[in-house]
Structure 1
Amino acid sequence: MAFPRLRLIGCVGLAVLLYAANFQKACLAEEKRLNVLFIAVDDMNNDLGCYGNTQVHSPNIDRLAKAGTCFDRAYCQFPLCSPSRTSIMTGLRPDTTKVFDLKKHFREVIPEVMTLPQAFEKQGYFTARVGKIYHYGNPGQIGTNGLDDDASWQTRINPSGRDKQEENLIVNHTPKRGLGSSLSFLAAEGTDEEQTDGMVATETIRLLEENKDKPFFIAAGFYRPHCPYVAPKKYFDLYPMQEVPRWKNDFPEVDTAPELAFASNKPWPWLGANSQQLQEAQQAYWATISFVDAQVGRLLDALDRLDLQENTVVVFWSDHGYHFGDHGLVMKQSLFERSARVPLIVVAPGQKEKGTHSGRTVELVDLYPTLTQLCAVEAPSGLPGESLVPLLDNPAATWNKPAITQTRRNKNRMGYSLRNERYRLVTWGEGQHQLYDYNTDPNEKNNLANSPQHAQLLEQLMAELNQRLK
């Protein structure tokens, strides 16, 4: 009668082996879940080596571009911090979130919305941010939660460094404006690690070290190159003043474009600064780009040291672009190219093409569906963005979606831009339009909106914009 007993023991043994095998398989599947390192910079335009600027020193951001896909025509939804960041984090356009300024919180309008990190947390990810991801005043609210979203994170860290403590040393060429919207700068004493952005890198690295064995969505939000342009002196030394361009006050485009196109700067041009002051601020802006670049390098080095590069998606993005002299403008909130266009780099483990550039017009709202697809995380239905995964595998893949950017004037006039790979249409309503052909006019000097030869094109683009805004 021992034989049946042996059979029973054998069956139990087999069950144990199968359970162990399935457990091991589950563990391996858990190990293979892709992490996300979400790197945000504040007010950075495309003055980077990987975008063709030969003056700016950005070796680490360029290194990131060589590992993934650099999107050459990426655009924000609204060239102002809070509306743009809200769109990125909710995956929704500003006309849905109703966030058009720096005060309203999106949960006042859509309280139950599932943000990008919430979608990851729901799937068992550790979610954390260091620094500025959602909006808060820079530099006024450094060290606080500002207009952050508590529901998005399990851990929040708000560094505050030497730049915040030494604001009394900052040179301000627009003294009637607060530091958060000024042409102001400081070549600082001390080390990178003493600056707020150095602390962002340090704290992010600590989180990577502590959570390297679990799936994570960790966001690192840097404060520069947002004004005031503060960085250690060594980064200013990279840009001798005689090599920094100096603008002349000569902008014939104001004769053909609507006045609203330039209304982001009052007084115009350059908020009242002169060309020498603008040149000094430009040097400082580039210095802060190089300073942030060094902190990005620290993050990339940490990924390598912790053997995380093979299972971590890295995204590098800015909330909007930035003027520095062109069109007589500085900063943001216009619908010209330099304000609407952003640097966007995505590195995904296993992508077929690396070190490539995609010329397709993409939007920051595309990040939500992209990251959830890459990481097999369920996304809410009805998001207006489209996953960029096909462009990671083939940067020239068929892609027919234009980019839509909007901004507001005087709290009652909304302007909209539709940008495809060749043209930009801007409409301010009431027959006030702009139309640029980037094949023949990359610097947006010649507004074609009133040209009879382009009337049909204007009508077609207006119809497409109206259809996509429905």
Structure 2
Amino acid sequence: MTAQKPDIVFIITDQQRYDTIAALGASHMDTPNIDRLVKTGVSFEQCHVTAPSCVPCRASLFTGYYPHTNGVLANGQPWSRTWVSDLARAGYHCVNIGKMHTIPYDAKAGFHERYVVENKDRYLEGRWFFDEWDKALASHGLKKQQRETYRARPDYKDRLGAFTWDLPAALQSDNFIGETAKWWLETKPVEKPLFLTIGFPGPHPPYDPTPEMAEKYMARDVPVPDVSDEELAALAGPWIAKREHDVEVDHDSVAWKLDPTPEELRRMRAYYYANMEMIDTQVGRILDALEARGNMENTIVIFTSDHGDNLGDHGLSQKWAPYEEVTRVPMIVSAPGRFAGGRTVSEMVQLFDLGPTILEWAGVAPDPSFEAISLNPALEGAPFAGRDHVFCEQAGDVNMTGASYLTMVRSATHKLVHFRGSEEGQLFDLVADPGERVNLWDDPEQAGVKQALLGTLLDFHIESTVRTRNARHLIVSPPGEEVWQ
């Protein structure tokens, strides 16, 4: 292993399900470039997020603390202090291209350079913030496709967020991010070790592939949701309320339906998968640009996502509900000269565990109060127990009208979801019911399992309070914090 600090390239998508990579079992997908990373890297097949939506998950990832610790529990809440500053102190040149979803969007967040691109559709939050993508479109005399224009379509409520990108292909958001990253790698000389975060806005809705890519996936057999009337009737109250809310209010250009047609669901899925292949193409261009830089033998590439998307599973739109389709994400670490590749880690981990892992690569000791743990033993082939339980939490976003705060705990065999202030909850036997269709919360035969998991939640919060008692004042950035040079 080289003693020189490695370049670290962190590629993160937005709202990507686990079942979207061919090499990880998604036979409906063409992802030859991400497949390259799987073949040369280590894949974590049980990586779970700490929050089922963008902002709290990313704040957790880049701080090393659970959402209830860092205080970022819902979208739109301010955060900007990150462990990226520790990398900068350690001599890294830190660059972000694309989505980070800091609040404010253009916070330095420890980076020396930021090329900010945010959500494709920002109808309310940040509506008048013009990011690099907005400026590129404006320079061509164009305005991005988004809710205001989509709403004018007579079929808007039938599209479920699926629209072709009809402006120049190079200006589609994921193409734009990929090409910007490639341009940066080809033109910017950096003598320091590099930490480069590349945030793709997709496949987050609107699901907007270019026409030829949409046509490709519309022509193939893609998996579609299989939701019974019995499952819908047995949904927890907060998810029944969410279904109704998502019909009344269109989030991210998705006008939901309580009973979408099979063809509408198939189109939504096809466009989503088409978005993913477009991202895969850009990943390939980034990997080629890294090869051309001549330092690939000392470069670590990470590929992951911040959460998934129900895509109609359980009758639900988008995220927030912590089903497996939302909480389980792909995570691949590729560094053939450092870690033996072509391996799978089956132990449970959490997405924010990447934080201390990255810091250790840079020779930085993670803060002992971190709730995230290092994945380096697993990467190095050493004994690795993983986590006995993983946790996920979310305070009420605007469309979670039926729950002010939820906490999920998942073991290797069961999942429990606790709704604050409610006698209702969810309990699933993941062995007998991997599709999470049968809620056992009120089943007297499962009372022991339920109580044990509730006890685990209690222990989780107690341990978190004690562990982080001296760190809370460090999590919020002081005003005017400067990036380390």
Q: TM-score, normalised by structure 1?
A: 0.82
Q: Does 2:185 align with 1:208?
A: yes
Distance change (3 Å), C-alpha of 1:77 and 1:248: closer
Residue 465 of structure 2 aligns with which residue?
none
SS at match of 2:100: coil
Amino acid at match of 2:42: T
Q: CA deviation at 1:173?
A: 8.6
Partners of 1:164 and 1:227 lie apart in 2 by 17
**1:279-333 residue CA offsets vs partner (Å, 9 max, x unmatched):** 2221111111111111111111111222222111211121111111210012100
Q: Which of 226, 250, 256 is matched with 1:271 structurally?
A: 256
Amino acid at match of 2:17: N
Q: CA deviation at 1:121?
A: 0.3
Aligned length: 422
> Aligned runs of 1:194-343 on 2, under 5 Å?
194-209=171-186, 210-241=188-219, 243-247=221-225, 250-267=228-245, 271-272=256-257, 274-275=260-261, 276-343=263-330
Residue 382 of structure 1 aligns with which residue?
369
Partners of 2:230 and 2:395 lie apart in 1 by 24
Q: CA deviation at 1:225?
A: 0.8
Residue 101 of structure 2 aligns with which residue?
134
Q: Which of 404, 407, 410 is matched with 1:419 structurally?
A: 410
Q: CA deviation at 1:71?
A: 1.3
SS at match of 1:90: coil
Q: CA deviation at 1:202?
A: 2.4
Unaligned runs of 5+ in 1: 1-27, 108-112, 137-145
Q: Which of 165, 170, 179 is matched with 2:144 structurally?
A: 165
Check conservation: 2:165, 2:172, Cα contact below 8 A.
no
Amino acid at match of 1:165: K
Check conservation: 1:360, 1:399, Cα contact below 8 A.
yes
Q: CA deviation at 1:400?
A: 3.5
Partners of 2:423 and 2:155 lie apart in 1 by 34
Partners of 2:271 and 2:286 lie apart in 1 by 23
Residue 21 of structure 1 aligns with which residue?
none
**1:64-122 residue CA offsets vs partner (Å, 9 max, x unmatched):** 11111111111111111111111111111111222223322125xxxxx5x12111001
Partners of 2:354 and 2:374 lie apart in 1 by 7
Check conservation: 2:84, 2:94, Cα contact below 8 A.
yes
> Aligned runs of 1:118-197 on 2, under 5 Å?
118-135=85-102, 147-158=105-116, 159-160=132-133, 165-167=144-146, 170=150, 175=156, 183-188=161-166, 190-191=168-169, 193-197=170-174
> Aligned runs of 1:31-50 on 2, under 5 Å?
32-46=4-18, 47-50=20-23
SS at match of 2:209: strand
Q: Which has the higher contact order (CA 8 A, sep 6+)?
A: 2
Unaligned runs of 5+ in 2: 117-131, 248-254, 463-485
Partners of 1:170 and 1:212 lie apart in 2 by 42
Amino acid at match of 1:380: D
Q: Which of 430, 443, 447 is matched with 1:438 structurally?
A: 430
* Larger deviation, residues 281-290 vs 386-395: 386-395
* Larger deviation, residues 422-431 vs 163-172: 163-172
SS at match of 1:96: helix
Identity rate of aligned residues, in percent?
A: 27
> Aligned runs of 1:92-107 on 2, under 5 Å?
92-106=65-79
**1:12-54 residue CA offsets vs partner (Å, 9 max, x unmatched):** xxxxxxxxxxxxxxxx95xx21111111111111122133111
SS at match of 1:373: helix
Q: CA deviation at 1:349?
A: 4.9
Check conservation: 2:226, 2:313, Cα contact below 8 A.
no
SS at match of 1:367: helix
Q: CA deviation at 1:133?
A: 1.4
SS at match of 1:381: coil
Q: Does 2:87 align with 1:87?
A: no
Amino acid at match of 1:63: R
Partners of 1:248 and 1:404 lie apart in 2 by 27
Q: Which of 24, 31, 45 is matched with 1:51 structurally?
A: 24
SS at match of 2:369: coil
Tell which structure's C-alpha radius of gyration is larger.
Answer: 1
> Aligned runs of 1:326-365 on 2, under 5 Å?
326-365=313-352
Check conservation: 2:6, 2:299, Cα contact below 8 A.
yes
**1:178-197 residue CA offsets vs partner (Å, 9 max, x unmatched):** x9xx6131143544x33232
Q: CA deviation at 1:267?
A: 4.6
Check conservation: 1:204, 1:220, Cα contact below 8 A.
yes
Q: Which of 383, 399, 408 is matched with 2:386 structurally?
A: 399
> What's the Cα RMSD here?
2.8
Amino acid at match of 1:106: W
Distance change (3 Å), C-alpha of 1:389 and 1:76: same
Partners of 2:321 and 2:92 lie apart in 1 by 37
Q: TM-score, normalised by structure 2?
A: 0.80
Partners of 2:350 and 2:452 lie apart in 1 by 21
* Larger deviation, residues 450-459 vs 58-67: 450-459
* Larger deviation, residues 79-88 vs 235-244: 235-244
Check conservation: 2:74, 2:394, Cα contact below 8 A.
no
Distance change (3 Å), C-alpha of 1:358 and 1:196: same
